[in-house]
A and B are shown apart, each in its own frame.
Chain A
Amino acid sequence: MGDHELNRKNQYDEAPQGEGRLDRAKFLRSGALAGGAMLAGAMAPAGAIAADAGDAPLAIPETNKTLGAGVNDTPYGMPSKYERDVVRRTVPFLTADDKSSVSFTPLQDLDGIITPSGLCFVRDHGGSPMLIDPLQHRLVIHGMVDRPLEFTMNDLIRLPSESHVYFMECGANGGMDYKGAQMQGVQFTHGMIHCCEWTGVKLSVLMDQVGVKSTAKWMLAEGADAAAMTRSVPIEKALDDALIAWSQNGERLRPENGYPLRLVLPGWQANLNVKWLRRLKFGPDPWQTREETSKYTELMPDGKSRQFDWVMGTKSVITGPCPEKPMMAKGFREVTGFAWSGYGTVTRVDVSFDGGVNWKQATLQEPIYTKALTRFRIPWEWDGETALLQSRAVDDKGHVQPTQAQLLAARGGNAIYNRNAIQTWRVNPNGTVDSVQVG
């Protein structure tokens, strides 16, 4: 198929100027689409293209000739309506109930390294409590401590605070693809991850306030949700870089991300970063809760299960192109994506265009933070032939992201959690992109 067929500009050359767009506006205004859910699922706009009229002289846009909206028409700003397909999505068949389910971050639409709060994936085990009044909320810290204490939100924000950018990844991210490629689209293969700037008090400061006893080796964190989520955290992590956070990307946490208070354990499985945090208890042993025995453990071929696999492995993925962002034309296209490691800082990303035979080093974009998403970029001249795109991350502890074959050999196909294998995207001659696995 020829170049011009891939060039979507051509598709609109003969389109009557702006008519389709106008009709859509009318159509939407007519209320034929019931509710926001449908709108959210609706189309990606292509404003630039709609305005392209071939050789015709540029028209003066209407926006040059009419006044725009008032400065406070939307007191809490919203994205342009043309961005309405940039939303979290879920895969209904995965779960029995949407209160114990997951929605995925649209990684394909993100730039830079920060995930906007409203696009952060959500994984709940008993729904997101939407009505926790921050004035009523309490954090209790007790167990093997000298002075059990109860904190209000107003107490906590008086304490010295810190802000850090960290990623958070669900242990099940990519788990559906352990045995074979199944999820089509980077939103579903890798979208159980987000990266935010978190603000809160260091947990070690709170541990000072209660006086944690030297015999305490573990901490239980508990949520105020319907799952009363509980996970055990070893004391070393609690003392190291753990935060008790009330803010995300400069504003208070979103309800579905733990409002008004959550635990942040940098680089560790998101499930441990307990949302709606209401209680911390110090003790001598791990609690062996359901979430660290029945779930979030990795069953190996010999029948044994890896437990307490807290640190999210060194990993990367190309987000452009990807199945949601097909190739539009032969020729130049910058390839870009995310790399991260729960062990520390990403030091290197290599990209292959032939399924892992040959590799080229990509550029890492500043800022590069420890335990945060890191953006990589590499130029690419596409010849229109089938290509197999891969990315491979390396971190400052020397971990190299494994291939799918290596991970499968190490863990078998039933491990479900902490899958950090190299992703392969097949770019087809017609420009479409598929998720595949190579041997």
Chain B
Amino acid sequence: MSKSVKYAAALAGIVALAGFAIADAGQQYNIGKPVTEAHIASWDIDVNGLTGAGLPPGQGSVAQGTKVWEAKCSSCHGEFGEGAGKFPVIAGGTGTLTAERPDKTVGSYWPYAPTLFDYIKRAMPFPAPQSLSNDEVYAVTAYVLNLNDVVPKDAMVDAKALAAIKMPNRDGFIKAEWDTKNVVCMSKCAPAPVKITSDLVNLHVTPEEKEVGNVGSTVDRGNIEESADTTAAAATTAHGTGPGAKAASGPTFEQVQPIMAQRCTVCHSGKPTQAGFSSAPMGVKFDTPAEIKAQVAQIKALTVTSRQMPLGNMTHMTDKERGLLGTWIAAGAPIK
């Protein structure tokens, strides 16, 4: 397996039957149809990011790419690659990789330019993948590279040009290895009592979408990985206020009771008012403060954590209200 490609290719021709191929030792079942390159050409679209091998004939300019971008990409990724809503940001972020909140884009993060061609060709535009011609892919690749100051405004890009580009973060990647050293300690492994460093009781991120908007417009970003990233940043910020501080000035029962009355008691009452209910479902009633207090664990699990209640959200409970209930319960569900 360590022989050079050239040597191997030459040898393969001569001694193919001598078992030169590494995985040729096993039984041959004569199953499967032999195929030619012409037969599989339409599937064989991969481009090697490092070498550019597989880049097809064709070319495109930044100017041509502007047209493709505006017609087929900017609705999601923004006119200048800034990303609309939560769709991925494509440009900017240079020099932010060591920042508290890094901006990972084509320009700041991607190590290889041919990868950009490969990805756009196979997967973009998101609603209509594999609909662009090779020239269109070259052009919009040039446009994205120009947005990121990797090629000039008058650039024309083809296979050779793409393979020759050195992206700013080309040398930014290292091979991962196991990188932690915990031990099997059984007693007195940490100073007691342990300190809580992060407590999400006051940070209603899961899955209270609207609350998150309040934590920071930061989550209005690309895909799940990026969001994971930015909500994490939000968590740190939110914790700056300290869980204790919030709990002390937490919601009162006066705030909680009307919410329960409006969102739950229509069903969970000795006399339900919700159509279809003649008695409290499963006998669960929230008519009195004591009844509410007695069931806070369940109220939290079903309303705040899993949002299974109110049933089908028939009573239109808001995320804010769920958050308020959660904070109240976390603070010990004070009734006074």
The reply to whether B49 and A293 form a contact with Cβ atoms under 8 Å apart is: yes
Q: Is B24 engaged at the interface, CB distance under 8 Å to the other chain?
A: yes
Bound complex: CA A403 to CA B184 (Å):
12
- 1/0 per position for B233-261, CB-CB distance to A under 8 A? 11110010000000000000000000000
Residues in chain A near residue B87, CB distance under 8 A: 96-97
The reply to whether B20 and A24 form a contact with Cβ atoms under 8 Å apart is: no
Q: Is A308 engaged at the interface, CB distance under 8 Å to the other chain?
A: yes
Contact status of A177 and B21, CB under 8 A, knowing A20-B284, A43-B302, A184-B305: no
Bound complex: CA A325 to CA B276 (Å):
29
Q: Which of B1, B203, B332 has the most CB of A within 10 A?
A: B1
Contact status of A403 and B20, CB under 8 A, knowing A215-B4, A438-B196: no
Q: For residue B329, give the distance in angstroms from its CB to the closest CB of chain A.
A: 6
The reply to whether B283 and A180 form a contact with Cβ atoms under 8 Å apart is: no
Residues in chain B near residue A30, CB distance under 8 A: 276
The reply to whether A178 and B23 form a contact with Cβ atoms under 8 Å apart is: no
Q: Is B134 engaged at the interface, CB distance under 8 Å to the other chain?
A: no
Stretch at the interface among B59-67, B136-144, B156-164, B206-214: B206-214
- 1/0 per position for B274-303, CB-CB distance to A under 8 A? 011111111110000000011111101110
Q: How many residues of A contact B (CB 8 A)?
A: 166
The reply to whether B86 and A43 form a contact with Cβ atoms under 8 Å apart is: no
Bound complex: CA A97 to CA B85 (Å):
10
Q: Is B314 engaged at the interface, CB distance under 8 Å to the other chain?
A: yes
- CB closest chain-B residue, reference A223: B122
Bound complex: CA A126 to CA B189 (Å):
46
Contact status of A356 and B194, CB under 8 A, knowing A140-B35, A147-B34, A179-B235: yes
Q: Is B133 engaged at the interface, CB distance under 8 Å to the other chain?
A: no
The reply to whether B284 and A11 form a contact with Cβ atoms under 8 Å apart is: yes
Contact status of A215 and B5, CB under 8 A, knowing A182-B205, A289-B115, A413-B236: yes
Q: Is B69 engaged at the interface, CB distance under 8 Å to the other chain?
A: no
Bound complex: CA A187 to CA B219 (Å):
21
Q: Is B316 engaged at the interface, CB distance under 8 Å to the other chain?
A: no
The reply to whether A326 and B301 form a contact with Cβ atoms under 8 Å apart is: yes
- 1/0 per position for A398-409, CB-CB distance to B under 8 A? 011111111100
Bound complex: CA A406 to CA B194 (Å):
15
Bound complex: CA A278 to CA B35 (Å):
14
Bound complex: CA A57 to CA B159 (Å):
83
Q: For residue B123, give the distance in angstroms from its CB to the closest CB of chain A.
A: 5
Contact status of A432 and B301, CB under 8 A, knowing A182-B232, A293-B115: yes
The reply to whether B281 and A182 form a contact with Cβ atoms under 8 Å apart is: no
Q: Is B263 engaged at the interface, CB distance under 8 Å to the other chain?
A: no
The reply to whether B189 and A358 form a contact with Cβ atoms under 8 Å apart is: yes
Bound complex: CA A348 to CA B104 (Å):
38
The reply to whether A228 and B111 form a contact with Cβ atoms under 8 Å apart is: no
- 1/0 per position for A13-53, CB-CB distance to B under 8 A? 01110011101101100101100001101111010011000
The reply to whether B229 and A140 form a contact with Cβ atoms under 8 Å apart is: no
The reply to whether A416 and B186 form a contact with Cβ atoms under 8 Å apart is: no
The reply to whether B185 and A359 form a contact with Cβ atoms under 8 Å apart is: yes
Sorted nearest first, the 5 A-B pairs with minimum C-beta distance are A15-B283, A288-B49, A309-B176, A208-B26, A207-B23
Excluding A100-B126, A208-B27, A435-B200, 12 further A-B contacts by CB distance (< 8 Å) are A142-B44, A182-B206, A184-B200, A184-B305, A290-B110, A295-B223, A302-B98, A358-B186, A405-B197, A416-B229, A430-B297, A437-B197
Of the A-B pairs whose beta carbons lie under 8 Å apart in the complex, a sample of 14, sorted by A's number, is: A32-B275, A89-B207, A91-B206, A101-B224, A159-B29, A176-B232, A179-B198, A181-B235, A208-B26, A226-B123, A281-B44, A313-B178, A358-B188, A438-B196
